[in-house]
Homo-oligomer: A and B are copies of this chain.
Amino acid sequence: MAPRAGIDVDTVLQKAVEIIDRDGYEDLSIGKLAKALSIRPPSLYNHIGGLSELKQRLAVLGCGKLYEQMIRAAVGLSGDDAVYALSLAYVYFARQHRGLYEATFRAPYLHAPDLKEAQEKVVQIVVQVLAVYELDEETTLHMVRGLRSMLHGFTSIEQTGGFGLPLNLDESFHMMIKTFLKGLPIKK
C-alpha cells in the first residue's frame, strides 16, 4: 500500500480549483481529481464527503476569494473610484478563475450558512462602497442589487461567449458602470 500522500481537505480543494479553472467546472469528477492527487477515487472520501460537498466548498471558497480581491481593490478609495476598482476586481477575478467563479453560482446547497455568510461579505463591500453616495438607505440597497446584477450578468455572459459584437469588452464594462453611476438617484 502506498505511503500517505499528505493530502488534506485544502490540498483537495486547491487541486479541484486547478482543474475547474483549467478544464471547466463541468469537467470536475471524483475520478479526475483522485488521479490528479495520485490516489484512488474512494480515498478521496477520507477528506471530503462526496462530490456535492466538494462543490459546496468550492462555492464558499470562491466567494471568499472574490471578496478578498474586491476588498483589496477598494481599500483607500471612495466614490466612483472605489466602485470602478471594485467592479474591475470582480471581473478580473472571474476571468482569472473562471471555474471557481462559476462554482460560486453552482452551489448544491443554496441555504448553507457558511455560503450565505461568504456571499453576505461580498454584498457588504458593495453596500459600503455605495454608502457614500447621497441616497436613501433603502435606495442604496436597491442600487447594491443593481450593481451586483451588472457585475454578475456581465461576467456570466462574457464567460459563455455571449458578447459577440466586435466591440471592446472593457470599454463596454466601463461604460455600463459609468452609466449606472451617472443615473444614481442622488438626493437633492
Q: Using a CB–CB distance below 8 Å, which chain A residues touch chain B?
A: 105, 107, 110-111, 116, 119-120, 123, 138-139, 141-143, 145-146, 148-154, 156-157, 160-165, 167, 171-172, 175-176, 178-185
Residues on the B chain within 8 Å of A105, using CB? 156, 160
A150–B143 Cα distance when bound, in Å, is 12
Q: Could you say how many copies of this chain the assembly holds?
A: 2
Contacts of A180 in B (CB 8 A): 146, 179-180, 183
| 30 pairs of residues in contact across A and B, judged by CB atoms under 8 Å | A107-B160, A110-B161, A116-B164, A119-B162, A120-B164, A123-B164, A141-B165, A141-B167, A141-B172, A142-B171, A142-B172, A143-B175, A143-B176, A145-B157, A145-B167, A146-B150, A146-B176, A146-B180, A149-B153, A149-B154, A149-B157, A149-B176, A150-B150, A150-B153, A151-B153, A153-B154, A178-B183, A179-B180, A179-B183, A182-B182
